[in-house]
Chains A and B, each alone.
Chain A
Amino acid sequence: MTEDRADYLASASGHEPADAERLDLVRDVLSREATWAEAPPEVADRLFASIQSGRPPVTATPTRKPSRWLAPVAAVLGLAAIVAVVVGITGVLSSADERVVAIGGTELHPEATGRAAIRETDSGWWIQLDISDLPPAEEGTYYEGWVWNDDGDGVSIGTFHLRGGDESVALWSGVDPSSYPAIWVTLEDEDGDPGASERIVMWGRP
């Protein structure tokens, strides 16, 4: 080792043994090319273009628990969708063994409204989506339901297309929706990609 190199290491380690040990922990990381890599500018361009084209609903609205009489009335009259619009995007209705989460359209389909009824069964969680004003998925595309947790993990709960005019869709979740509270519907291309696309068309959360 040259004198200058030794001098450098002494300086770099801050003269304190504890500092030298800490530096040893990260010396390998500092020597990696990846550590210093810079994202190309088109990442930001594409990201913010995507964000501007598909803004999800505002979610800062505090969770709203309707009064007891509202749940059965809303279930009968389909008022959940109206509740979703009135409160912004989401509202929550509850019954003994079924939870109902209102879902609303994003900027891609702001007119879309709906509700997700969630019921636990021996096989998993049955989730029925009743959707209004979401157009059928075009050929070559389909809709996909997701539940999403607070760590950013999404689990698919099934796919559908709405081309038959029936806007009631039965989906299944193998994970507990109370741990994956956000419900999404995305528009997907038939391209074999199992991940969620960036085109969220509906969204809701208790």
Chain B
Amino acid sequence: MIQVENLTHTYGGRKALAGVSFEVRKGEIFGLLGPNGGGKSTLFRILSTMMVPTSGRASIAGHDVVKEAAAVRRQVGVVFQTQSLDKALTVDENLRAQGHLHGLSGALLTERIERAVERLGLADRRKDLVETLSGGLRRRVEIAKALLHRPLVLLMDEASTGLDPAARRDLSRHVENLRDNEGVTILLTSHILEEADRCDRLVLLHQGAVVAEGSPGELRARIGGDVVVLESGEAESLAGRIAERFGLPATAMDGRVRVEISNGHRFIAEVVEAFPGAVESVGLHKPTLEDVFVRETGAILE
């Protein structure tokens, strides 16, 4: 549904995208996960036809985002990171104006609005001014607005930023409903692990390049077993000594030593005994996408 081939973009001298390629299949939720400044927003602007890339190609539903921008705009609904609602207008008025921009009017538009507010649980807020709505509700109005023209693809840029965990889960649930009941393909950018974990597939973006691609499960499976995190005042030297003694790759970062190992609990006992006093606290967890990111880039996500 979305094809991205060797896309690059430079702002002045700074390279924001350095040859990014991936493919999004029909009816999946696809995530772009990476730290701020990793290239997500640039990619989002190019896919939403707001900006022309320096080189490479991208197409949505078979239409080139540069040469056939108008066709792409008809097939794509966009939810921005910042608000795109008019706060001085009601929910209904915002939706109506959006419908007009897409050439919808009359009974058809009314029907589409009714369906969209129904779907996103906004039916009782239609007459309310947007400025009186909570952050979570506003995001839902944004989605309702983006869906009015029945796009095949929904692009969402950091849509859950600024929402509390409950509102974020609620938003994810609505997005999953869209995929399941409407067959909408969704591409979202995020720097929040929990959100990325709910994607069907994702790419990890770092410094404008794709460092890993796959389902959250596949990506996590790259790390066998457990991740052990040791807090230490002398993380660098501890990492070196662990590598030497146990023959394991150990990385030191921010006063912490991270070790990937299959039998974490046994290793913890051994390491604490081997270096008495060097370890201040110990943590053990199953691999997360953050661990995958650290492993692939040597940098942390947030």
- Whether A associates with B in a native complex is no
Residue positions of A touching B, CB distance < 8 A: none
